[in-house]
Chain A
Amino acid sequence: MNDLLLAERIEKSFGPTRVLRGITLSVGREEVVGLFGPNGAGKTMLANVLSGLIPPDRGRILFEGKDITRLSMDARFRAGLARTFQIPGAYPTLTVVESIRVALLCGEEGKRRSPRELEEEVESVLHRTGLFAQRFWMAAKLSQGCLRRLEFARAISCRPKLILLDEVFSALSAKDEGELTALLRSLRRDDGISFLLISHNPLILAEMCDRVVTIEDGRVTWEGKPADLAKYLPVAAGHDHGP
């Protein structure tokens, strides 16, 4: 089995509302998979289940062949499965440096590092994510673009094998979007990180992904190459696919 992440027949309901209806999804090593679908399709819920924020009602999740279905979100992060949020969450009273330090300290690697090695790693993450100039800024004072970078910085601190990116390009300027795209590419190229990229934007998915999975009403409706996504889109006409 070559899948890095394999989610099988994931189901999740809230009372009578079935949000996920037996979704099966896989992400290979060094693969970028796009997750596309209209509002309310269950994309973010699937990310919540995969990252351990919400347990599924049924189904199982394998990460590197190990069953992580009942593992907590923090344990999944330490195991190398990181995520970012649609609305970036930051620690308002901590600076950028301190926020990154928290993630580094809690990762498996952080426990083995000396304080000096830890600070070198913090500096490296700051440079890679373009946050060095803002390193002493309080997170509460950061722009949306910098908050997204900080999310990336936090996510890559555990040297992850897979990052779930939930609408990471939403509400960004063209400049920030371009820089984040370049960062994502470099993380994939240099670190071999896989991504599950959740987005409303078919152009970004077509540009970034090796494979795209579309979901609607909690079910997988289509899976194929990004170039073929345009063929799928007319089928889904009538749904809101706007950016």
Chain B
Amino acid sequence: MIFSPRRTTGALALGAGLLLLLPLAGLDLFLLDVLASGFLLAAYVGSWDIVGGVAGQICLGHALFFGTATYSCALLTSLAGWPFAAAAAAALLLSTTAAAVVGTFSGRLKGPFIALLTLALGELAHEVALGQTFFSPRGAYSWGGEGGIPVALPWGSPSPWASYYGALLFLFLSTWGMTRIARSKDGLIWTAISGSELTARASGVDVARHKRRAFLVAGLLAGAAGVGFAAHVGRATAADFSLELSFQAATFAAIGGRGTIVGPVLAALLLHALFQGAGIAPAARVLLYALALLLVLRFFPAGVAGTLRERVRERNMVPEGASR
């Protein structure tokens, strides 16, 4: 079986091994930086897949949780003078709280209404971040908006190698954790909710509680990716809350295969590394992502990994009357 836990873990370990050795092949600093950002973006997309793929709650404001974490790190370290570790812990708490609030509101809503609610909340946060400026502690200049706020890091400017390996470790651990969650009892119940809320309710599932829990887990993981991004880039900007970042998660998940975790993670990593590594301008990248989505959906209607999983499952179906 392609998606057996052992095979998936093995494939992930092999991929991680290759990525571990890649910097030794003489990769330049720009590509190291692109890949490190790609690892964090891929983990963020995986977190979207927990709530949007496994639990089927289309979240179009997922950047809210990511941006909450990057902004918290920046504000708490640069303005409040907190040590980075404490700011990171607070950032995780705040992004999880934001997810709890969104999850609570989403509990009673369905389908497009959840998409609209999350879109509105994400865009509200983006507009606030865009318009809100802060004076630096010395009062010399203002921070915020598109220019962003610096993150005061204890190690000053991070080494590209440390960023690369730190982000890779985070991606590997978070992907492993997310696949475990997707295969857990909660993951099964979330998949059921995604399939039919009514049947889930008639099967004893407390749908609102489970939706909230899916948002909590996704928000925590997106927040963790945000903390990693803040530590890697050393700056939080309004773009961390942007609609583009939210839509990227949904697009990569659709390409990779919603609900498979590994598919969206790999799609995000490969497409980001390919297009950003080739130095393609952001506006052109959006068009290329859309083109990739159209092409993939033409041949893989449930995304690449999603369609492959369906084919494996169909192959495992025993003919009626036969026994295994």
Report the bound CA distance from A107 to B206 in whole Å: 11
Measured between beta carbons, the chain B residues less than 8 angstroms from A155 are 202
Flag if A77 contacts B196 (CB, 8 Å).
Answer: no
Q: Give which listed residue, A102, A137, A138, contacts B203 with CB less than 8 A.
A: A102
Complex contact B195–A94 (CB within 8 A): yes
Closest-CB distance, A155 to chain B (whole angstroms): 8
Binding site for A on B (CB under 8 A): 185, 188-189, 191-192, 194-196, 198-207, 259, 310, 313-314, 316-324
- With contacts A91-B196, A93-B191 taken as known, whether A138 is within 8 angstroms of B317 at the C-beta atoms is yes
Among B198, B200, B310, residue most surrounded by chain A Cβ atoms (within 10 Å): B200
Pair B205/A74 contact, Cβ less than 8 Å? yes
Q: Does A19 contact B (CB under 8 A)?
A: no
A85 B191 Cβ-Cβ under 8 A:
no
Instruction: Say whether A74 contacts B201, CB under 8 Å.
Output: yes
Whose C-beta in chain B lies nearest to the C-beta of A140?
A: B195
Nearest residue in B to A157 (C-beta to C-beta)? Answer: B203
Contact B205 A106 (CB under 8 A): yes
A141 at interface by CB-CB < 8 Å: yes
CB-CB contacts below 8 Å: A85-115 with B: 85, 89-95, 98-99, 101-103, 105-107
User: Once the chains bind, are B189 and A106 in contact (CB under 8 Å)?
Assistant: yes
Decide: A136 near B199, CB < 8 A? Known: A74-B204, A99-B192: no
Can you list 25 residue pairs at the A/B interface with Cβ under 8 Å? A53-B198, A74-B200, A74-B202, A77-B201, A83-B202, A85-B198, A85-B202, A90-B199, A94-B191, A95-B313, A98-B188, A102-B189, A102-B200, A105-B188, A106-B203, A106-B206, A133-B320, A133-B322, A134-B320, A136-B316, A136-B317, A137-B317, A138-B310, A138-B314, A154-B199
- Interface residue A61 (Cβ < 8 Å from any Cβ of B): no
Chain B residue with minimal CB distance to A150? B199
Q: Is A197 an interface residue (CB 8 A)?
A: no
Q: Which residue of B lies closest to A105 (CB)?
A: B185
6 smallest CB-CB distances across A and B, nearest first, come from: A91-B195, A106-B204, A89-B199, A103-B203, A77-B204, A102-B192
| Residue among A51, A73, A75 with the highest chain B CB neighbour number at 10 A | A73
Interface residues on A, range: 35 or more
Interface assignment of A82: CB less than 8 Å from any CB of chain B? yes
- Pick from A74, A93, A94: contact of B207, CB below 8 A: A74
Contact A73 B320 (CB under 8 A): no
Q: Nearest-CB distance from B202 to chain A (Å)?
A: 6
Known contacts: A93-B195, A93-B259, A102-B188. The answer to whether A136 contacts B204 by CB under 8 A is: no
* Complex Cα spacing A89 to B310, Å: 20
Cα A82 to Cα B259 with chains together (Å): 29
Q: How far is the CA of A32 from the CA of B188 in the complex (A)?
A: 34
- A157 to chain B: which residues have CB within 8 Å? 203
Contact B188 A101 (CB under 8 A): yes
Distance of A134 Cα from B322 Cα, bound (Å): 9
Closest to A79 in B: B204
Chain A positions within 8 Å of B316 at CB level: 136
Q: For residue A93, which residues in chain B have a CB less than 8 angstroms away from its CB?
A: 191, 194-195, 259
With A95-B313, A102-B189, A133-B323 already in contact, the answer to whether A72 and B201 are too (CB < 8 A) is yes
Q: Which residues of B are found within 8 Å of A134, using beta-carbon distances?
A: 317-318, 320
- Separation of A101 and B191 alpha carbons in the complex (Å): 12
A133-B323, A134-B318 as given contacts; A103 in contact with B194, CB under 8 Å: no
**Known interface pairs A91-B191, A133-B321, A141-B317; A154-B196 also in contact (CB < 8 Å):** no
Give the distance to chain B from A36, nearest Cβ to Cβ, in Å. Answer: 23
The interface residues of chain B lying within 8 Å CB-to-CB of A149 are none
**Chain B residue with the shortest CB-CB distance to A96:** B317
Q: Distance (Å) between the CB of A233 and the closest chain B CB?
A: 32
Q: Which residue of B lies closest to A115 (CB)?
A: B185
Chain B residues whose C-beta falls within 8 Å of the C-beta of A95 in the assembled complex: 313
Cβ distance A165 to chain B, nearest Cβ, rounded Å: 12
**A22 and B230 alpha carbons, distance in the complex (Å):** 62
Contact B195 A158 (CB under 8 A): no
CB distance from A187 to the nearest CB of B (A): 17
Contact partner of B201 among A73, A101, A133, A136, CB < 8 A? A73
CB-CB under 8 A for A103 and B318, given A89-B199, A132-B323 = no
Task: Give every chain A residue within 8 A of B200 (Cβ-Cβ).
Answer: 74, 91, 102
